[in-house]
Every structure is written in structure tokens, then in C-alpha cells.
Amino acid sequence: MDASGPRVGDDMTVEVALSVMAGARVEYLVLCDGDDQSTGSVTLAELVAHRGSSTYTDRTRLRDVLDGPFVSHGRTPGVLALSG
């Protein structure tokens, strides 16, 4: 993925991230920490899948998704991968 995509804070909620993606008409967001350092990226499909999980609430933050059940395997650290 290209690091020039829309950059958002990892403290953003999943719901807001989905709205940003819809408004910007993009398939992924570049995640940044409090120091504006890139920590990875997340795709629309990954967020939609997480939103359908039993652990999801409307307060779930992107950083919580990165630490949650969708753990990356063999991808760039911080980039979500669907398990299964």
C-alpha cells in the first residue's frame, strides 16, 4: 500500500474511520500515532469485518483493532490481516 493515502490518528473510532473512508472514497487509511509516525494501515474490508465481530462497540478505536483479534501475519507491522 502507498503511504500517501489519507492519514488518521490511531485514536479515531472505527465508525469515524468508516465515515472518513466513505467521504474520501478510499479503500484504506494510513494510521499514525500521537507523534504523527505511521504505525500501519487499515482497509475498508478489515474495518467492516471487525465491526461485525462480537467484540465491537461504537467506542472501538483503531488502535484497539490493531491489538485485537485481527492480528497481522507476514505483513507490515500494524497492518491488519483477516484471520481465518
Residue 14: how many other CB atoms lie within 10 Å: 22
The tens digit of pLDDT for each residue in 23-52 reads 999 999 999 988 989 888 899 999 999 999
51 falls within a domain: yes
38 falls within a domain: yes
Q: Which amino acid is at 71?
A: V
More confident residue, 77 or 55: 55
Residue 3's pLDDT band, with cuts at 50, 70 and 90, is: low
The Cα–Cα gap between 64 and 2 comes to: 23
Residue 52 half-sphere exposure, CB side, CA atoms within 13 Å? 7
45 falls within a domain: yes
pLDDT of 70 over the 50 cut: no
What's the pLDDT score for residue 39? 85
More confident residue, 31 or 82: 31
Report the domain count for the chain.
1
The residues that bridge with 42 in the sheet, in sequence order, are 29
